[in-house]
Chain A
């Protein structure tokens, strides 16, 4: 200890200053990230054990319940059902949102046509529409997908439109002087410059999509992780009820990380300084 403090004092201060300026060193960042999780889990464990297990379980009990639920197949089955709905809704919502957003961003006529319906639908709580969705699409996968779709499509659509409008008009002029076709303007210019906005839209959509899945599973035919939460809550098996909730959180973390990885590879040019 003394060896590090005495001679290293000056350089340590400079290092700390550099770290603050340049952002955290990767090892430190991961230490803090994982540390926060460990501290939270530990606190939950200690506090949870002091309570009635019906009110709040604790991480080890949730872990044991999780292993059991994997073993008897209930968790994989429910997760599969929920992920299928999430994937269908997310993909459909993102595809429609991006496509419509790109067109509406570049064509003021299209933007004018969709503006009021989109604003109205976005402002309406999607939950309020579920009875109608059930009437139209039934209780099963299609209806649930529609619910997730409605949760997902608007943030993607609005962010994409915004991104297209942020296209540098100077670059549009460059494209025009080089006699670029409209199609090439899209691929060379509109899509790449809207990409960060699209990614932001999808990042928001992932969170909303997870909400959508559970809402759909509660309010149409009970199924998937939503069903697991509901039946275990009804039978006061709090540890088993918390398993699907933890899984949902993990799905959100994994999907967001995956999106970050995709963005990193699509937008290498943004990591500029050589």
Chain B
């Protein structure tokens, strides 16, 4: 966990002429789980899409394992806020999708293992339209894990499901993560508690244009549970620190919006 794996060096991104990210620098070490939090419109998703190679930065650079990221790479996989499942593919076929397009047919055993691990075996032959939001996101997570990426990107993965499902999914993903720890991960969220629960390090981005406000390493003991984390003596201190960082948006006068 001491080798830098993902490095963003003063990355600026403009979309349609608007500066969305302004000189964002960030390092994720190998097998580290970094949470990026920020308010909506602060550039979090743009940051993730830039890391994924979907958007070229206007200036600055992104590198993964020493190689510059200029386009999407099979070493990275992404979990999407709105699941991004193919409605005409079954759960099983969706999980296998990444392996299929990347020509990793020999790794098909993983599909069944992940269906089991994410409690999807019973609905493996269902289509996404027949699944609940929580189940859909399990498929999305399994699809990303199936390609065994070096870098896993999660774009608000739990924000499109109901509160109870969210807690359950969070702790399941946390357990999966803590048991395996094979990859580096960047999770984008607007949920402070989720970030404290999951992260090795939290980065607060506020904008527009998105800039890094605070970078906060967390050394809460693992394995974690939501209860342990909330009961930890440092919890409210960390929480307040993050809140303060988030409540630092540029002052907008009435009438300028």
Contact = CB atoms under 8 A, between A and B. Distances in A.
B76 interface: yes
Interface string B86-114: 11110000000110111000000000000
Contacts of A175: 101
A267 B89 CA distance: 10
Contacts of A178: 72, 74, 77, 97-98, 101-102, 147
B166 to A, nearest CB: 21
Contacts of B102: 178-179
A188 B86 CA distance: 8
A273 B72 CA distance: 35
Interface residues of A, number: 23
Contacts of B86: 171, 188-189, 192
Contacts of B82: 170
B217 interface: no
Contacts of B127: 268-269, 272
A164 to B, nearest CB: 15
A9 interface: no
Given A189-B86, A267-B88, A177 B129 contact: no
Contact of A176 (B72, B88, B126, B128): B72
A177 B78 contact: yes
Interface string B54-96: 1000000000000000001110111010101011110000000
Contact of B129 (A174, A180, A270): A270
Nearest to A173: B54
Contact of B54 (A171, A176, A181, A268): A176
B52 A180 contact: no
A171 B130 contact: no
B77 A177 contact: yes
A174 B155 CA distance: 12
**Interface SS, B side:** loop
A173 B46 CA distance: 13
Given A171-B86, A188-B86, A270-B129, A177 B97 contact: no
* Residue from A171, A174, A272 whose CB has the most chain B CB atoms within 10 Å: A174
B155 to A, nearest CB: 10
B21 to A, nearest CB: 18
A177 to B, nearest CB: 5
Contact of B74 (A171, A173, A179, A189): A179
**Interface SS, A side:** helix
Contacts, number: 64
A274 B101 contact: no
A184 interface: yes
Given A175-B101, A176-B54, A188-B97, A269 B87 contact: yes
B88 A274 contact: no
Contacts of A174: 78, 80, 84
A173 B84 contact: yes
Contacts of B52: 177
Contacts of A267: 88
Contacts of B100: 184
Interface in A191-223: 192-193
Interface in A9-65: none
Contacts of B147: 178
Contact of A269 (B84, B101, B129): B129
A177 B88 contact: no
Interface in B170-204: none
Contacts of A176: 54, 72
A184 B54 CA distance: 18
Contact of B76 (A177, A188, A273): A177
A188 B128 CA distance: 15
A7 to B, nearest CB: 38
B129 A179 contact: no
Given A173-B84, A177-B77, A188 B129 contact: no
Interface of A: 170-171, 173-181, 184, 188-189, 192-193, 267-270, 272-274
Closest 6 CB pairs of A and B: A272-B129, A174-B84, A269-B127, A180-B101, A274-B130, A192-B88
16 contacts: A171-B86, A173-B49, A173-B54, A176-B72, A177-B76, A177-B77, A177-B78, A178-B72, A178-B74, A178-B101, A178-B147, A188-B97, A188-B101, A192-B86, A272-B127, A272-B130
Given A176-B54, A178-B74, A269-B87, 19 more contacts: A170-B80, A171-B84, A174-B84, A177-B53, A177-B54, A177-B72, A177-B78, A178-B102, A179-B72, A179-B73, A184-B100, A188-B97, A192-B86, A192-B88, A269-B88, A270-B87, A272-B130, A273-B129, A274-B126
Interface of B: 49, 52-54, 72-74, 76-78, 80, 82, 84, 86-89, 97-98, 100-102, 126-130, 147
